[in-house]
Structure 1
Amino acid sequence: MDFTRRDLMRTTAGLAAGAALGGKLLGPTGARAQSDLSFKPEEGASLRVLRWSPFVKGDEEQWLALTKKFSEQTGVQVRVDKESWEDIRPKAAVAANVGSGPDIMLVWFDDPHQYPDKLLDVTDLADYLGGKYGGWYDGMADYARRDGKFIGLPLATIGNAIVYRESWVKEAGWSEFPTDTASFLELLKALQKNGHPGGFTHGHGVGDGNNYAHWLLWSHGGQMVDAGGKVVLDSAETMKSIEYAMELYKTFIPGTESWLDVNNNRAFLAGELSVIANGISAYYTPKNDPAQAELAADIRTCPLPIGPVGQSVELYQVTSAVIFAHTPYPNAAKEYLRFMYEEPQMQSWITASSAYCCQPLKAYENNPIWSSDRNYAPYAKASATLRPNGYAGPLGYASAGVMADYVLVDMYAEAVTGRSSPKEAIERAVKRANRYYSI
C-alpha cells in the first residue's frame, strides 16, 4: 500500500496532536445534535482516502468533485486513491495492523469488526447524522457498530438484482421473468438450449460471489450459524441448495468458478450472456453510450427468484467509511465525512451514482433517482431489506473472517465443479467456519 516515510512521521505526530487536541468538537455533541455540528481541522491537516474502484463513472466523478469542494472550503487537501474491489479488504487489514497508510477507507461488509481497536470511534458523528436524517438502516448500522459504538459510518448498499436480455427471455418462451427458483432453472435450461446461457459468479468476487452464494443458501432455508453463533451449515437445507446450484451450473457459460466482480459485466455486455445477477452497472454502461442504445433498450432488471424458504432473502453489498486510529488528523477526517454525508452532498452523490449506491440514511430514500427509470426499482430498497452477513448469528470477528476467507463461496464452487462431492464440500466448509466461530 505504498507506506512512506511521510506516513510514519504523520502517525507519530498524530499521537501527540490527538492527545493535545483531545479530538475537540465544536458545536453540540451526542444523539440528535443540531445542524451546526462541525469539527475544526487540525492546523496543516491533509488526508488520504482509499476507496474501491467504481463500476459507475458518475459515482467517482461526483465523489471527487465533492472532495474538491471540501478542500476549497476548509483548506484541507485530500488525496483520493482507489483499489480493485478484491484488494480493499487486504489493504485495510494491512493499514490497521501496521498503523500507517490512508486516514480513511471505504471497506466492505463487517470488515470493521476484524480490527475494531484500530478504528476511530465516530459515535458522536453517527448520532448527529442519524438524528438529523431520519436514522440509519439497521442492517447497515450493524456492520459499522460494535459494543454500542460506531467504529465507522455506513455509506452505501450496492444492490443486487437479476439483469437480463428481455428479447432472449421471450424467445425462450417466457413472457415474464420467473419469480421462483424452480421456474428460474427451467428458464436457464431453455436459454442455454437457444445459445444464450446465463452465468453467476462462483469465484472470489467480493460482491457477486458472496451475493450469489448467500442467496443460494438462504433461499433454501440454510444458515451458516444459529442465533448463538454455532455453525449449523451441515443441514438438509444446505444440501438442497448445493443440489440446486449444481443444476444451475450446468446451464452456465464456462469459467464462472474463476470470475471476479468485473467478469460477468464484461460477458453480459459482450452479448455472451443472457442473465446475470449484478448491480445496476451492467445497465448503466450501455444506457450512457449511444452506440449501445439497442442493447440498453433490451435490458430489464428484477429481484432474484424466491426459493423454498418462501421469502426474498438477499445479502447485498454494504460499504462503510472508517477512520483509522493512526490518523494524525482525526478532526479533519471527521469533518470530511460530515461534509460528505450532509444532504447537499450525499443526495447529489446518490443521484450521480444512478441507482448504484443505495442511501445509508432513511431521509435520503426520497431521492428522485429511484423513480427515474424502471430498471432502478429492484435496487431502491436494498438498504432497508438486506440480511446481514453471518445470519442468524452476531456480527463480529468470526462472521467477518468467514466471509473474508470465502468459506461459503468455495463450498458451492467445489461442489458444482466436481472438485468435491456435496457432502465433502459441506464438511470442509464447516471445518473452516469453526476455525473462526470456535475462537
Structure 2
Amino acid sequence: MAVSMRRRSFLGGLAVSGVIGAGHLDVFARAWAETAEWKPEPNASLSLLRWKRFVPSEDEAFMRLVDAFIKATGVRISVTNESYDDIQPKASVAANTGQGPDLVWGLYSFPALFPSKCLPVDDVAASLERKYGPWLPAAAAYGRIKGRWLAIPVAFTGSGINYRISSLKKAGFSSFPANTEEFLELCKGLKRNNTPAGMALGHATGDANSWLHWALWAHGGGLVDRNEKIVINSPETTKSLEYVKALYETFIPGTVSWNDSSNNKAFLAGDLHLTVNGVSIYATAKTDNPRIAEDMDHAPLPIGPAGKPTEFTLAFPILAYTYTKAPNACKAFMAFMMDAANYCPWLNDAQGYLVEPLSAYPANPVWAKDPKLGAIAGGVKRSLAAGGSAPVSERIAAALAEFIVVDMYAGYCTGREDVRGAMRMAERSAQRIFRNA
C-alpha cells in the first residue's frame, strides 16, 4: 500500500508540474506502466509510421519517449519516417491490404479515409479528456468520426505567417496587417523591394492546403456546405480566386511546384521574406542563422471579407489499424505519449512546432519564454477543421487528399484556366466524391 501511494503521489506531482527531467523519464515510465489502464499483450511488437521531422529536437525528444516506453513495458517499437506527402498513400495501402504498420501518426483527416480499418480508441480519448480536457473543437473533429473516436489528435502544428521584421518595415508597415486587403498591399510592397513573399501552390499537403483553404473561407466560399452539398461555384469563390491570383503575382518564382519543405529552404537562404508555415523555419534559423531568426516574427492569417478567423491548421492524428495483433499496446502507447509528464517536455523540445489539442494541459514554458510564438499558439484555438462548415467525413478527407482546392487555385494563377474554368474543374472533381450527398 505504501509503495502504491508513493507511486500515485509521484505521478500526480508530475502531472501537475507538466515537466520531467530526462534522467527521470525511465523512472516515470516504469511507474506509469504499473498503473496504466491498458496492459500490453505479452511479447507485443509494434511498428509506427510517422511524418519526417522538421525540428530535429522534437524528433529526438519523441525517440526518448519511445525508448522509455519500450524499457517500461517490454513492447518492441520500430519507428519509420516518411515525408508529409507520402504518409497518406502508404497509410491507405496498409488499410486496404491489412499489412503494414500497426500505428500511423499522420496528417489532417486521413483516418476518415478508411474508417472501418481504424481501431476505435474511444476509451483513450475519454481518459485523456478526463485528465486534460476538453478537446479543442478542431481536435475533436479529426479524432471523432461519426460518433466514434478513430484516432487521437496528438497535436497541431502552430501555423501562421512567418515574416522578416525589417522587410515589413521597409514596405511601410509598422505592424502586421490584420485584414486581407492590407495583406495584399504588404505583399506588393515586399515585391517592389525585392524581398518577396511566397506560399506553395503545389501539392504541399501542409502548406498549400492550409493557406489556400484560409483564402477560400476568408472570402465566404467553401467546397461544400454543412450538408456536403457542393457550393464551390459561387461569387465568393470567384473573389477568392481573384485575390489569390493578385497575391501570386507578388510571389517569388516557382511556388506552383513547391512541396512542404520548399519555403523553409527559400526563407533560410534569404530569398523569401514572408510565407505561411509552422515555426520550423524559426527553430532552424535560431541554430543555423541567428541573424534571420532575430529578424523574424509570426502573425495570424488576416481576416477576410467573411469577417472572422478562417485559419486552417495542420493536425497530426495517430491511429491504429484493426489488423494489429497488439491493440492494447497501441492504446497504451497513445496514452503514454499524451501523458502531461511526457507530453509537455516533448512539446517544449519541439520549440513551438507542436501545439496542444486539449485545453487543460499544464502551462508549458515554451509559450511564455519567447513572445514570437504567441501568434502560433493561438491559431489552433481559432482553427477550422478540414470540412470548413461540414463535419469531417470520408468524403471530406478524400477531397483534401486529392488537392481539389489547391489545384483550382493553381490552375487559375498559372493561366491554365479562367475563373469559371477553375471553378468548374473543382466542381467536377468534387462531384466524383460527393455525388451521393
TM over 0.5, shorter chain: yes
Compared CA separation, residues 365 and 174, structure 1 to 2 (3 A):
farther
Contact 2:115/2:394 (CA < 8 Å) preserved in 1? no
Q: Unpaired segments of 5 or more residues in structure 2?
A: 1-33
Aligned-partner Cα distance in 1 for 2:92–2:433? 17
Which of 409, 426, 429 is the aligned partner of 2:423? 426
Contact 1:192/1:252 (CA < 8 Å) preserved in 2? yes
Contact 2:187/2:196 (CA < 8 Å) preserved in 1? yes
Shifted more, 263-272 versus 167-176: the winner is 167-176
Query: What is the letter of the counterpart of residue 234 of structure 1?
Result: N
Question: What root-mean-square deviation, in Å, do the aligned CA atoms of Structure 1 and Structure 2 show?
Answer: 1.3
Is structure 2 residue 320 aligned with structure 1 residue 323?
yes
Alpha-carbon distance, 1:382 to partner:
3.2
> Matches of residues 36-75 of structure 1 in structure 2 within 5 Å?
36-75=35-74
Aligned-partner Cα distance in 2 for 1:42–1:398? 35
Show the counterpart of 1:184.
Answer: 183
Show the counterpart of 2:142.
Answer: 143
Aligned-partner Cα distance in 2 for 1:181–1:60? 35
Which of 382, 388, 393 is the aligned partner of 1:391? 388
Aligned-partner Cα distance in 1 for 2:362–2:227? 33
Show the counterpart of 1:302.
Answer: 299
Alpha-carbon distance, 1:209 to partner:
0.5
Show the counterpart of 1:237.
Answer: 236
Contact 1:358/1:382 (CA < 8 Å) preserved in 2? no
Aligned-partner Cα distance in 2 for 1:149–1:390? 18
Alpha-carbon distance, 1:36 to partner:
4.2
Alpha-carbon distance, 1:147 to partner:
2.6
TM-score normalized with structure 2 length = 0.90
Aligned-partner Cα distance in 1 for 2:94–2:135? 27
Compared CA separation, residues 164 and 365, structure 1 to 2 (3 A):
farther
Query: What is the letter of the counterpart of residue 167 of structure 2?
Result: W
Shifted more, 114-123 versus 137-146: the winner is 137-146
Alpha-carbon distance, 1:170 to partner:
1.2
Aligned-partner Cα distance in 1 for 2:59–2:419? 41
- Report SS of the residue matched to 1:39: coil
Aligned-partner Cα distance in 2 for 1:230–1:168? 43
Query: What is the letter of the counterpart of residue 348 of structure 1?
Result: P
> Matches of residues 20-419 of structure 1 in structure 2 within 5 Å?
36-289=35-288, 292-364=289-361, 366-419=363-416
Contact 1:156/1:383 (CA < 8 Å) preserved in 2? no
Query: What is the letter of the counterpart of residue 404 of structure 2?
Result: V
Aligned-partner Cα distance in 2 for 1:230–1:427? 15
Contact 2:282/2:293 (CA < 8 Å) preserved in 1? yes
- Report SS of the residue matched to 1:50: strand
Question: Structure 1: which 4+ aligned runs deviate by more than 6 Å?
Answer: none
Shifted more, 390-399 versus 271-280: the winner is 390-399
Query: What is the letter of the counterpart of residue 319 of structure 2?
Result: V
State the aligned residue count.
403
Aligned-partner Cα distance in 2 for 1:161–1:146? 27
Q: Deviations over 1:227-259 (max 9, x none)?
A: 211011111110000001111111111110110
Aligned-partner Cα distance in 1 for 2:401–2:435? 17
- Report SS of the residue matched to 1:393: coil
Aligned-partner Cα distance in 2 for 1:65–1:183? 45
- Report SS of the residue matched to 1:229: coil
Compared CA separation, residues 144 and 231, structure 1 to 2 (3 A):
same
Show the counterpart of 1:30.
Answer: none
Compared CA separation, residues 139 and 176, structure 1 to 2 (3 A):
same
- Report SS of the residue matched to 1:38: coil
Alpha-carbon distance, 1:47 to partner:
0.8
TM-score normalized with structure 1 length = 0.90
Q: Among all aligned residue pairs of Structure 1 and Structure 2, give the percentage whose two residues are the same amino acid.
A: 41
Aligned-partner Cα distance in 2 for 1:316–1:207? 8
Compared CA separation, residues 206 and 256, structure 1 to 2 (3 A):
same
Compared CA separation, residues 383 and 274, structure 1 to 2 (3 A):
closer
Contact 2:267/2:273 (CA < 8 Å) preserved in 1? yes
Contact 2:344/2:362 (CA < 8 Å) preserved in 1? no
- Report SS of the residue matched to 2:155: strand
- Report SS of the residue matched to 2:281: helix
Aligned-partner Cα distance in 2 for 1:258–1:201? 7
Aligned-partner Cα distance in 2 for 1:175–1:132? 43
Query: What is the letter of the counterpart of residue 187 of structure 1?
Result: L
Alpha-carbon distance, 1:111 to partner:
1.2
Alpha-carbon distance, 1:37 to partner:
4.2
Q: Unpaired segments of 5 or more residues in structure 1?
A: 1-34
Contact 2:217/2:388 (CA < 8 Å) preserved in 1? no
